[in-house]
């Protein structure tokens, strides 16, 4: 299916690995031009090295800097001449933080502030920068990567879950306000995804392995799917999330606005 994304301009945050990198590759495969935003780059985000030529440009930005999202949007317009798609993917553990964390009382104000800066305010600031040029161009698409945990409050990662719930609320409000003007805003809510958050040394799998007295591979292949009651019995692959993001970014989804899509291995059971 042609997603009609050829030559459209997209900004993707959190682009250096995991879901973000999969989104970048998918949009490039569909012919889009992509500004990939992350703190650090690599061969995958170098246009010529990645085989994307001048259709892929990296912007080195730390999205906990309040000015970074606007700089990234301005850079995309400078390089590519406009903006059609914003994918707010940056999120998860803020720099220097390891998740999961357990319980409410250990969290200080600084923990809450850092979590909301990275998982909510960076997306708000990027949308605030992206919407005016999209309005001037007659429309666009914003896809916010949320989390299944936004729908299932629990004492594990309570600050992260709250930030993603807030992101869902903001996304619905933006969809209602700007949908009549041609800007669609939707969210994708992954469950556990086999990314560096889980797999890297000291990551979520290691934290849970230590807590349960097992090892990383057992957590990834058995423990986490069982603990989270994943219907498919496995963590999702980043590409599976990227495919849904690309569809929502596409004009083929012209009547999809204010929706939330669970790509979560059957994590959410609620109607």
Question: How do residues 17-39 score in pLDDT, each as one tens digit?
Answer: 999 999 999 999 999 999 999 99
pLDDT averaged over every residue in the chain: 96
CA-to-CA distance for 269 and 271, rounded, in angstroms? 7
pLDDT over 90 at 10, yes or no: yes
Confidence tier at 221 by pLDDT (50, 70, 90): very high
Do 178 and 213 belong together in one domain? no
Question: Do both 156 and 211 map to the same domain?
Answer: no
Structural Rg of the chain based on CA atoms: 18
Q: Is there a domain that residue 2 lies in?
A: no
Any domain includes 13: yes
In a domain, 269, yes or no: no
Same-domain check for residues 123 and 209: no
What does the block give as tokens for 190?
Answer: 């992954």
Contact 45, 101 (CB under 8 A): no
Residue 220 lies in a domain: yes
Residues 126 and 212 in one domain: no
Rounded to an integer, the average pLDDT of 220-242 is 97
- Please report whether residue 186 resides in a domain: yes
Half-sphere exposure for 165 (CA within 13 Å, toward CB): 12
Residue for token digits 């059971």? 269
Same domain, 187 and 201: no
Given 116, 118, 160, 197, the catalytic residue: 160
Q: Are residues 124 and 249 in the same domain?
A: yes
Q: Are residues 26 and 131 in the same domain?
A: yes
| 71 and 133 within one domain | yes
Q: Are residues 49 and 162 in the same domain?
A: yes
- CB of 175 closer than 8 Å to CB of 253: no
Does pLDDT of 42 surpass 90?
no
Mean pLDDT, residues 133-154: 97
How high is the pLDDT of residue 55? 97
55 and 93 share one domain: yes
Tell me whether residue 138 is one of the annotated catalytic residues: no
Clarify whether residues 150 and 66 are in a common domain.
yes
- Residues of the chain with pLDDT > 90, as a percent, come to 94
Confidence of residue 59 (pLDDT cuts 50, 70, 90): very high
Domains in the chain: how many in total?
2
The yes-or-no verdict on residue 238 having pLDDT over 90 is yes
Domain assignment of residue 52, yes or no: yes
We report the CATH number of the domain holding residue 28 as 3.40.50.720
| Confidence grade of residue 77 (pLDDT, cut at 50, 70, 90) | very high
Confidence of residue 271 (pLDDT cuts 50, 70, 90): confident
Decide if 3 is inside a domain.
no
For residue 156, tell me if it sits in a domain: yes
Tens-digit pLDDT profile for residues 169-219: 999 999 999 999 999 999 999 999 999 999 999 999 999 999 999 999 999
Residues 175 and 242 in one domain: yes
State mean pLDDT over 121-141. Answer: 98
Residues 6+ apart with CB under 8 A from 91: 14, 118, 119, 122, 123, 145, 147, 163, 164
Question: What residue numbers bound the domain in which 46 lies?
Answer: 9-191+238-260
């Amino acid at each position: 299916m042609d997603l009609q994304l050829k030559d459209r301009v997209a900004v993707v945050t959190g682009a250096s690995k995991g879901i973000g990198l999969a989104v970048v590759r998918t949009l490039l495969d569909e012919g889009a031009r992509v500004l990939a935003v992350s703190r650090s780059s690599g061969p995958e985000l170098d246009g010529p090295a990645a085989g994307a030529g001048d259709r892929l440009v990296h912007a080195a930005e730390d999205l906990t800097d309040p000015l970074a999202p606007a700089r990234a949007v301005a850079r995309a317009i400078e390089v590519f001449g406009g903006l059609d798609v914003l994918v707010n993917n940056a999120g998860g553990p803020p720099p220097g933080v390891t998740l999961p964390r357990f319980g409410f009382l250990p969290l200080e104000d600084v923990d809450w502030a850092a979590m909301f800066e990275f998982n909510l305010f960076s997306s708000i600031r990027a949308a605030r920068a992206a919407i005016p040029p999209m309005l001037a161009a007659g429309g666009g698409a914003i896809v916010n990567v949320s989390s299944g945990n936004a729908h299932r409050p629990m004492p594990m990662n309570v600050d992260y879950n709250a930030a993603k719930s807030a992101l869902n609320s903001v996304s619905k409000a933006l969809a209602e306000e700007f949908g009549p003007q041609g800007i669609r805003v939707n969210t994708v809510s992954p469950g556990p995804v086999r990314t560096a958050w889980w797999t890297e040394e000291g990551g979520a799998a290691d934290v849970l392995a230590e807590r349960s007295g097992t090892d990383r591979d057992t957590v990834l292949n058995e423990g986490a799917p069982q603990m989270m009651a994943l219907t498919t019995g496995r963590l999702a692959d980043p590409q599976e999330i990227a495919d849904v993001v690309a569809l929502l970014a596409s004009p083929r989804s012209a009547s999809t606005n204010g929706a939330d899509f669970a790509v979560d291995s059957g994590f959410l059971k609620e109607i």
